[in-house]
Structure 1
Amino acid sequence: MAGCEKLAGAFNLSIRGYDPGVTPIVAEYIKKPGKIAPPQEVALSLYIQHISKLSEMEMEITISFYLRLQWLDRRLKSKTNRPIRVPKGVLHCLWLPDIYFMEAKSTGEPEASVFHVDPDGKIIWSRLISLATRYENDLHVFPFDTLSTRVQLESYSYGNNTLTFKWLGYMYSPSLSSIDFKAHSAIHGISMKDYSRMSIDPEDSLFQIAWLELKLRRSPLIALISIYIPALMIVMASWLAFLLPDSETAAKLGIGITSLLSLITLTSYADSKLPKVSYFRGHDLFFGFSFAMMFSSCVVHVRRKFTILPRSSMLDQSKVSEMNCKLRIRSFSTVSVFVFSLLVFNIVYWPVVISMSQYASD
């Protein structure tokens, strides 16, 4: 401890008789016999600087933010008229709240740290932290889903009766409102919500937890351009086979099979950009309906191949013209059924997905 006193004295900081294992509020009440010390209050504030990584396959997000802790330690009062900046090498000599991040996959070493002590003993400890944690989102409503993650802080050794948290506020960088990620992971908006400022359940938890929830909304435009519109174009391209004569069955099936293979390739691309989940995602139903449409068109082409028609040599010219007219009408009516089915599906599908996404984000 003598070494700490000498080291702190070099920075005009007096810690004679200072016990770093005792909270500041307990140190005050030691001098007041018969009185019970209340919990030490530590104020928290966050400034979200940027999101450095978002991995959809691993459902992991990396957030860089400034964490500012404030508390009062009258044992560090000084006669100076300005704050004292304490170097990192002296911090082990002082009492510090042993805060850690819950459910974090990894927490990098603080990239920067500033420790100030005001003349009245008020301490401000600011650190730049990079936190990798898991996020949750409901892919039922893809591409209108909302990503949700929490920054949760808890004391490792001080319980509710020794240390409490208080939120001072939170901010985020304006640049977060225009983040663009690769593939269809664009974020076009950010909203953070502080639920009750603290999450405390004295009956079920011995340690107080302070948490802040961060919500990000996906931009549906990129998914529409890269997934849904190409799928619609492939389906409509398969209908070009209806313009061919019924005798060109091989060409019709060639168009149908090529369209099916193109849609399979597009489905594989979409699946490679999203995490593997045990439920139907928003685009799975869309692709399923598209496959059903193209398979049905192939069935129609094969059925027409085996339709028995009289030879044109056995009919006069008027009968041949009448038959060709009927075939064109039949082709037009078949295409109309496919177009109507696709139109009805989209009229029902998109409002349902959008309404579900609004319900899920609430």
Structure 2
Amino acid sequence: EIISNDSEYWTLFDSSEYNKNVKPNSQGPVIVNVSLFVMDIYGLSDIDMDYTIDLYLRQWWTDSRLQFNGTVKTINLGPDYIKKIWIPDTFIANSRQITHHNSAGSNPNTVLSITSDGLLFYSTRLIIVANCPMDLSYFPMDRQLCQLKFESYSYNNEQIQYKWLNKWLDGPSLASRISLYNFRIERDYKVTHIENINTDSFSILTYGFVLKRSLGFYLNQVYIPAFMVVVISWLPFWMDKRDTQARVGLGITTVLAIITLVTNTNATLPKISYMKSIDIYLGFCYAMVFSSLVEYTVVGYFQISCCNKVSDV
């Protein structure tokens, strides 16, 4: 049942009886059970090291002050009531931007319900841009770990304790249709822990997923082309050694081709100070091509020197 302003349940939120600024259970911590369902993951950026995730965030907690009697066992609260009760100030510590998903009527996709024993259920759909620090040492054969960290903004561990909903009650956390164009989700996980921040300890929930980068794009666009350029740089070894211009010209072309591959590859990556796996491969290819060019030049030099000596004789 959805209650309105003239409902008999309106008295539950009487400001003289109920203070929304005071948390429930003054004798101990409020236990907040949390569940989430990820609708989509997209916009994973190697340069900005962030990603966008679309999810449903669901929370359950008990507020004994909102217990009621009657034939109705569960009531759904309208938007006006959400501002009248205490709700956990859950925030995502590593988020950069959070947007509440709105329906066609510009109302946020939010549900709040109360059972007769004071159990509250709060669900909202969020679009979150979160940071995801990456180690690109093994790029593009790397795995990345992205996380979301949920915690209370103002309540410490003695006031609010977060727990993941029992796995037997909760379903899968990821939609089966999620597909990333350059990554594959290997697994996801949930962790509950206490973290000391400044002089206080806070209850934190961590949801993370492991991503394996798809090698196909880089195999077709970098590895195979670079290998072919190296093979082409060897062709002048079978050319007439007197054809110096053609040999050197082909060598310079292959060197420029490798430089172009290196430049285009690094243009899509952040400017990092350490060596990546693909840098080693392209560096080796560059060394092979450059050494071939040096060989052409040396052979050409000795060819000219020999010709000059013969003519002098």
With normalisation by structure 1, the TM-score equals 0.75
2:194 is the alignment partner of 1:193: no
Asked whether the equivalents of residues 116 and 123 of structure 1 are also in contact (C-alpha less than 8 Å), the reply is yes
Matches within 5 A, 1:47-196: 47-78=37-68, 79-111=70-102, 112-168=109-165, 169=167, 171-176=173-178, 178-180=179-181, 186-195=182-191
Structure number with the higher strand fraction is: 2
Asked whether the equivalents of residues 56 and 275 of structure 1 are also in contact (C-alpha less than 8 Å), the reply is yes
Determine what percentage of the aligned residue pairs are the same residue: 29
With normalisation by structure 2, the TM-score equals 0.86
Higher relative contact order (CA 8 A, sep 6+): 2
Structure number with the higher helix fraction is: 1
- CA separation of 1:189/1:297 partners in 2, compared to 1, >3 Å: closer, same or farther? same
Deviation of the 1:66 alpha carbon: 0.8
Matches within 5 A, 1:1-362: 9-10=6-7, 12-15=9-12, 16=14, 17-26=17-26, 37-78=27-68, 79-111=70-102, 112-168=109-165, 169=167, 171-176=173-178, 178-180=179-181, 186-195=182-191, 197-201=192-196, 205-307=200-302
Partner of 1:66, secondary structure, is strand
Deviation of the 1:189 alpha carbon: 2.8
Partner of 2:83, secondary structure, is helix
Deviation of the 1:44 alpha carbon: 0.7
- Structure 2 CA distance, aligned partners of 1:281 and 1:307? 39
Partner of 1:267, secondary structure, is helix
1:184-208 Cα distance to aligned partner (Å, 9 max, x none): xx1123311223x234449963332
Asked whether the equivalents of residues 113 and 125 of structure 1 are also in contact (C-alpha less than 8 Å), the reply is yes
Deviation of the 1:146 alpha carbon: 1.5
1:303-325 Cα distance to aligned partner (Å, 9 max, x none): 212335978xx9xxxxxxxxxxx
Asked whether the equivalents of residues 100 and 124 of structure 2 are also in contact (C-alpha less than 8 Å), the reply is no
Q: Report the residue type matching 2:260 in the other structure.
A: T
Q: Which has the larger radius of gyration?
A: 1
Asked whether the equivalents of residues 164 and 190 of structure 2 are also in contact (C-alpha less than 8 Å), the reply is no
- Structure 1 CA distance, aligned partners of 2:65 and 2:38? 32
- Structure 2 CA distance, aligned partners of 1:211 and 1:270? 33
Q: Report the residue type matching 2:100 in the other structure.
A: E
- Structure 2 CA distance, aligned partners of 1:166 and 1:245? 76
Deviation of the 1:110 alpha carbon: 4.3
Which stretch of structure 1 is more off in the superposition, 264-273 or 73-82? 73-82
Asked whether the equivalents of residues 11 and 86 of structure 1 are also in contact (C-alpha less than 8 Å), the reply is no
- Structure 1 CA distance, aligned partners of 2:224 and 2:8? 65
- Structure 2 CA distance, aligned partners of 1:140 and 1:103? 23
RMSD: 2.2
- Structure 2 CA distance, aligned partners of 1:234 and 1:269? 15
1:215-260 Cα distance to aligned partner (Å, 9 max, x none): 2111112211111111111111111111210001110111111111
- Structure 2 CA distance, aligned partners of 1:137 and 1:146? 9
- CA separation of 1:202/1:9 partners in 2, compared to 1, >3 Å: closer, same or farther? farther
Asked whether the equivalents of residues 194 and 201 of structure 2 are also in contact (C-alpha less than 8 Å), the reply is no
Match of 1:347 in 2: none
Structure 1: runs of 5 or more not aligned: 1-5, 27-36, 181-185, 315-362
- Structure 2 CA distance, aligned partners of 1:277 and 1:284? 12
Asked whether the equivalents of residues 110 and 130 of structure 1 are also in contact (C-alpha less than 8 Å), the reply is yes
Q: Report the residue type matching 2:128 in the other structure.
A: L
Partner of 1:279, secondary structure, is coil
Asked whether the equivalents of residues 71 and 122 of structure 1 are also in contact (C-alpha less than 8 Å), the reply is yes
Which stretch of structure 1 is more off in the superposition, 292-301 or 46-55? 46-55
Deviation of the 1:13 alpha carbon: 4.5
1:274-308 Cα distance to aligned partner (Å, 9 max, x none): 12211111111111111110111111111212335
